[in-house]
Structure 1
Amino acid sequence: MNTYLQIHPDDNVLVALQDLPAGMNISHNGHNIQLQENIAAKHKFLIQDVGAGDHIIMYGVLVGKANQPIPKGAGINTGNVVHDANSFHEKDGSIEWKAPDVSKWANKTFMGYHRADGQVGTRNYWLVIPLVFCENRNVSVIKTAFEKGLGFAPAEVYNEQVQDLVALYKKGDLEAIKNYQPEELTSTAKRNTIFPNIDGIKFLTHEGGCGGTRQDSDALCALLAGYIHHSNVAGATILSLGCQHAQVSILQQSLKKLNPDFNKPVLVYEQQKSASEFAMLSAAIKDTFLALTEANKISRQPSPLSKLVIGLECGGSDGFSGISANPAVGHTSDLVVALGGTSILSEFPELCGVEQELINRCQTTEISDKFIRIMRAYETQAQSVGSGFYMNPSPGNIKDGLITDAIKSAGAAKKGGTSPVTDVLDYTEYVTKPGLNLLCTPGNDVESTSAEVGSGANVVLFTTGLGTPTGNPIAPVVKLATNTKLATRMKDIIDINTGTIISGEKSIEEMGEEILEYVIKTASGEVYTKAEQLNQDDFIPWKRGVSL
């Protein structure tokens, strides 16, 4: 295994692939570099002396500048380097892309749920959604009734542990409590036997719908419409209080905007027009049960891989993210695009510094101009509240080598591969064009994943270097570890280990192909992700201007 890596020939830093001790001599391109300090794995050190104000180059782009002289062989950190990134401008030239060879998948299919509008789902869910937080409690009542009644409820392993501890306490055996070791949890998911063609009923509770801005409630309705319209959804039950900002009529308008011929069953119940809460919930339960009998009639059928819509996401990133998992996912994205499918790259604050590359990859100036407009408006809005994209890296990111937003962004953008950008979507806009789509979302993992799925992603590839236990209610989220230590330590949440790229066992291309094969099995229902097995159903709408 190599001890260091230069990602791009123009870089003036090297990445430590393992812990390197102070005094170690590194031979690079005929030059000797003596390490001035201990360099932890994932962190970077300079291959030449730099002065105050000099540029730090990584991935071949500007990722920071020195705020003091730094000698060759010293590590870069938040004390000696600050964020800096290249500016961006209008599109230059045209994009020429050499698509990867996809002949081995040309005749391959996945088993999916075909919808009347031409979409193909990887799962078959029914949704129960409140239009306002006032209805969350009623949604919870319906959830308990259906999950227990239909066998969707998670295994009550933790409840059983508490019961064991209570029994020991009643015996007065505190020593036994201290030594209590429950069996390791592998999965809490249960499959129902009443409706075998339905993967579950999902309940999208949230804290919005009223009390905020009208913009937020309109965006919430648009996001919920994207979930109802989604290929993985058979229909929905909607609970409305009646007086909130997020009105049923706004949701219906959003659905018609997505599809003028929208014809999925949507059952609506408004509490302020109901005889009683009991009457409303009883009607909702009965009608939903009848709708499930119809949704169960659809079954998986072969579908071309062009019907795959892959969300590209990262969270809990580390210094290996842009070297292993992200570029591997990027190759998977290129394969899917070459097969006529769609991929979605989001998290706009994490594209800071690589905007020009993405602008030049846009197929038309209309698309690139939209990207420029959205990016500049987002950054301006962030600055207006005393923030900015430069504040994006989290403490965990920084601890594991991502010390500036530009470093984080340059690695994060690798998830988008090399294919042309076919469309740019603002938040809640739904994908309509195959190819790589850029979607405006915050860098927040759950807000961004929620948005990608709301825009049509039917499988999400989620890379993590630190370990992020998140999922989505309706789309399977495949979790990819950037390093083997994480994959081993958090095997209960990780699906794929890309740390074999760091160790030299596999190439980025080999791993990208392996990921695609896993996606096909997941899309076909042959594999259920760890997030699905653990019922990790995270859903957070974005209040624009609040999150970064």
Structure 2
Amino acid sequence: MEKKLIKVHPSDNVAVALKNLSAGDSITFEGENVIPTTNVKAKHKIALQAFNPGDRIIMYGVLVGSAGQNIEKGDVITTENVKHQSEKVSGKTATYNWEAPDVKKWENKTFSGYHRKDGQVGTRNVWLFFPLVFCENRNIEVLKEVFEKELLNEDINKHRLLLRSLINKKEGAGQEETTSGQVPVFNNVEVKFITHQGGCGGIRQDSETLARLLAGYVNNPNVAGATVLSLGCQNLQIKIFKDALNEVSPDNEKPILIYEQQQMGTIENMLNTIIEESFEEIKKANKIVRKPAPLSKLKIGLECGGSDGFSGISANPTLGHVSDILAALKGTAILSEFPELCGVEQELVNRCIDDSQAERFLKLMKDFEKSVVDAGSGFDMNPSPGNIKDGLITDAMKSAGAAKKGGTSPITDVLDYTEYATKPGLNLLCTPGNDVESTTAMAGSGANIILFTTGLGTPTGNPITPVIKVASNSELASKMPDIIDIDTGAIIRGEKTIEEMAGILLEYIIEIASGKKSKAMALNQNDFIPWKRGVSL
């Protein structure tokens, strides 16, 4: 018999509709008769008991809300009859024992990556252009047009003529190779460009934070080197950036080219110099080739966006099992979006390997929430209209499902925004719930692959780190095949287990880490949004 309802945890008092249900349907569930009192859309929750005002709503085994009015057995759970509520947490309440998954199948698996001198291994080989201040965005855009269009051999301007002349001098390159558009100029290096709205005009702390984020991008193993543009008078001085880079990588040996416009005279002179010198370094980066690396060299970012009522029972647990496999192999996973961990703090605190990490997590959470309240909002405002429409009606409910991306392994480190992940195992990283601000942060903290679950469809990528989109349902995968890499809808239909789907995903991760393009890469999606925590001055 086809399943119509699912209960995620034995202690839950609500169930998830696996398909559209009609009012008056008689459903046998766990030995009891459940009759929907109204039509219920798939992904939404239905009451398995009667609730009085103030009664606790339990899902995923945790408190996700309380009844705001009388709710009858069979009623659909909505924003009208349930309000956000989560457990209060003060510290660790239990020791944590973890049973790691069997990873014999994966122990000798490798991916083909770019080995860096510091021991990190990249899944891409990117030469990165970025500004220290928004005043240089236009020059970055000019360089982007010059390099990207010349490599594609499109319309010509005088700066591109300069680059074309340099390409034609490249060792082993003939005129046919560089003008036909059939053979790429470089085989082992990509050129990517970042722009942003920071670096000046705000509080000094924001510029310092941006410096650390950009330094993390340079230190990311997917980056071979960088061209950096400075105006000269901005808050984010070159020294601040260099200090941030030295902090994250004291022995940095990657080539970093830095140009200050106010010291170089005309834009023409500056751009010509940048093109010539950057091209020489890009040629050197192209000589780096892929070599086998163990899966322990993977650093996986765990993200969700455009979540639906199935995300927490299909796509997110699939990521969680992949995370557990990597933790058992001494690889690294990064779970972020702190507003979407509200309500599951106790479980996460108990999973921290020591009290200091637990205390730091709670402090970061409390400080973040206070800043949100001071701004006139709250974590309870996190679910988006799309989330609510598809059954995620409280922040705690959304968080309980989102946290499934982190699996069950111990938490080895807790990081504030821009701090770099250095410890194998599961790391918690303080970021907003904003999808792109979060993925931007994870790449800056060292993620060389990002897994991104979605139930509604979210088109985004990252300039340096491959983003793999994982759909929670097959309807989305069929509707938006251009952005979805992996479909976990078979879990909802009972055709695959979470463990089986995790194996499929991990095999795909190895392919992407070894050079295959993810859908986001094929679409050239390169989103970059720093988290601005301060105010403008």
Corresponding residue for 1:75? 76
SS in 2 for 1:74: coil
Is the contact made by 2:5 and 2:29 (CA closer than 8 Å) also made in structure 1?
no
Query: Judging changes above 3 Å, is the alpha-carbon distance between structure 1 residues 152 and 297 closer, same or farther for their aligned structure 2 residues?
Result: farther
SS in 2 for 1:104: coil
Query: Judging changes above 3 Å, is the alpha-carbon distance between structure 1 residues 97 and 31 closer, same or farther for their aligned structure 2 residues?
Result: same
Corresponding residue for 1:532? 521
Is the contact made by 2:206 and 2:534 (CA closer than 8 Å) also made in structure 1?
no
Matched, 1:276 2:277: no
Is the contact made by 1:94 and 1:363 (CA closer than 8 Å) also made in structure 2?
no
Corresponding residue for 1:517? 507
In 2, Cα distance between equivalents of 1:242 and 1:403: 48
**How big is the shift at 1:192?**
6.5
Corresponding residue for 1:24? 25
Corresponding residue for 1:194? 185
Q: What residue identity is the alignment partner of 2:185?
A: I
Matched, 1:47 2:83: no
SS in 1 for 2:105: helix
Residues 131-155 of structure 1: per-residue CA shift (max 9 Å, x gap) = 111110000110111111223989x
Instruction: Give the number of aligned pairs.
Output: 509
Is the contact made by 2:203 and 2:534 (CA closer than 8 Å) also made in structure 1?
no
Residues 19-53 of structure 1: per-residue CA shift (max 9 Å, x gap) = 00000112223221211000000000101110011
In 1, Cα distance between equivalents of 2:408 and 2:57: 24
Corresponding residue for 1:109? 110
Q: What residue identity is the alignment partner of 2:418?
A: T
SS in 2 for 1:363: coil
Is the contact made by 1:152 and 1:191 (CA closer than 8 Å) also made in structure 2?
no
Q: What residue identity is the alignment partner of 1:537?
A: N
Return the TM-score normalized by structure 2: 0.93
Query: Judging changes above 3 Å, is the alpha-carbon distance between structure 1 residues 259 and 32 closer, same or farther for their aligned structure 2 residues?
Result: same
Corresponding residue for 2:361? 371
SS in 1 for 2:450: strand
Corresponding residue for 2:168? none
Q: What residue identity is the alignment partner of 2:187?
A: P
In structure 2, list runs of 5 or more residues that go unmatched. Answer: 156-180
**How big is the shift at 1:275?**
2.0
Corresponding residue for 2:178? none
Query: Judging changes above 3 Å, is the alpha-carbon distance between structure 1 residues 139 and 191 closer, same or farther for their aligned structure 2 residues?
Result: farther
Within the candidate set 223, 228, 247, 1:257 is matched to 247
Map 1:29-428 → 2, pairs under 5 A = 29-151=30-152, 193-198=184-189, 200-428=190-418
Query: Judging changes above 3 Å, is the alpha-carbon distance between structure 1 residues 34 and 373 closer, same or farther for their aligned structure 2 residues?
Result: same
In 2, Cα distance between equivalents of 1:96 and 1:545: 40
Is the contact made by 1:381 and 1:545 (CA closer than 8 Å) also made in structure 2?
no
In 2, Cα distance between equivalents of 1:7 and 1:425: 30
In 2, Cα distance between equivalents of 1:253 and 1:460: 27
In 2, Cα distance between equivalents of 1:489 and 1:362: 40
Query: Judging changes above 3 Å, is the alpha-carbon distance between structure 1 residues 385 and 102 closer, same or farther for their aligned structure 2 residues?
Result: same
Query: Judging changes above 3 Å, is the alpha-carbon distance between structure 1 residues 153 and 224 closer, same or farther for their aligned structure 2 residues?
Result: farther
SS in 2 for 1:487: helix
Corresponding residue for 2:164? none
Residues 191-238 of structure 1: per-residue CA shift (max 9 Å, x gap) = 96222111x111110111111111111111110000011100010001
SS in 2 for 1:93: coil
Query: Judging changes above 3 Å, is the alpha-carbon distance between structure 1 residues 410 and 49 closer, same or farther for their aligned structure 2 residues?
Result: same
In 1, Cα distance between equivalents of 2:153 and 2:192: 10
Corresponding residue for 1:544? 533
In 1, Cα distance between equivalents of 2:391 and 2:299: 31
SS in 1 for 2:453: strand
Is the contact made by 1:423 and 1:433 (CA closer than 8 Å) also made in structure 2?
yes
**How big is the shift at 1:311?**
0.3
Q: What residue identity is the alignment partner of 2:379?
A: F
In structure 1, list runs of 5 or more residues that go unmatched. Answer: 155-189
Q: What residue identity is the alignment partner of 1:339?
A: L
Q: What residue identity is the alignment partner of 1:382?
A: V
**How big is the shift at 1:426?**
0.2
In 2, Cα distance between equivalents of 1:414 and 1:392: 17
Within the candidate set 444, 457, 463, 1:473 is matched to 463
Residues 502-524 of structure 1: per-residue CA shift (max 9 Å, x gap) = 01110001001111111011101
SS in 2 for 1:105: coil
Corresponding residue for 1:175? none
Q: What residue identity is the alignment partner of 2:75?
A: A
SS in 2 for 1:359: helix
In 1, Cα distance between equivalents of 2:22 and 2:84: 27
In 2, Cα distance between equivalents of 1:69 and 1:30: 24
Q: What residue identity is the alignment partner of 1:543?
A: K
**How big is the shift at 1:366?**
1.1
Q: What residue identity is the alignment partner of 1:63?
A: V
Q: What residue identity is the alignment partner of 1:237?
A: T
In 2, Cα distance between equivalents of 1:151 and 1:531: 19
In 1, Cα distance between equivalents of 2:154 and 2:213: 26
In 2, Cα distance between equivalents of 1:204 and 1:365: 38
Query: Judging changes above 3 Å, is the alpha-carbon distance between structure 1 residues 132 and 153 closer, same or farther for their aligned structure 2 residues?
Result: farther
Is the contact made by 2:357 and 2:413 (CA closer than 8 Å) also made in structure 1?
yes
Q: What residue identity is the alignment partner of 1:241?
A: L
Q: What residue identity is the alignment partner of 1:9?
A: P
Query: Judging changes above 3 Å, is the alpha-carbon distance between structure 1 residues 380 and 277 closer, same or farther for their aligned structure 2 residues?
Result: same
Is the contact made by 1:421 and 1:437 (CA closer than 8 Å) also made in structure 2?
yes
CA RMSD of aligned residues (A): 1.3
In 1, Cα distance between equivalents of 2:503 and 2:30: 32
SS in 1 for 2:51: coil
SS in 1 for 2:38: coil
Is the contact made by 2:205 and 2:534 (CA closer than 8 Å) also made in structure 1?
no
SS in 1 for 2:463: coil
In 1, Cα distance between equivalents of 2:89 and 2:365: 10
Q: What residue identity is the alignment partner of 2:531?
A: W
SS in 2 for 1:263: coil
In 2, Cα distance between equivalents of 1:519 and 1:129: 28
Residues 328-358 of structure 1: per-residue CA shift (max 9 Å, x gap) = 1100111111111000000000000000100
Is the contact made by 1:4 and 1:16 (CA closer than 8 Å) also made in structure 2?
yes
Query: Judging changes above 3 Å, is the alpha-carbon distance between structure 1 residues 545 and 316 closer, same or farther for their aligned structure 2 residues?
Result: farther
Superposed structure 1 runs of 4+ greater than 4 Å apart: none
Q: What residue identity is the alignment partner of 1:540?
A: I
SS in 2 for 1:237: strand
**How big is the shift at 1:94?**
2.2
In 2, Cα distance between equivalents of 1:312 and 1:286: 38
In 2, Cα distance between equivalents of 1:59 and 1:523: 32
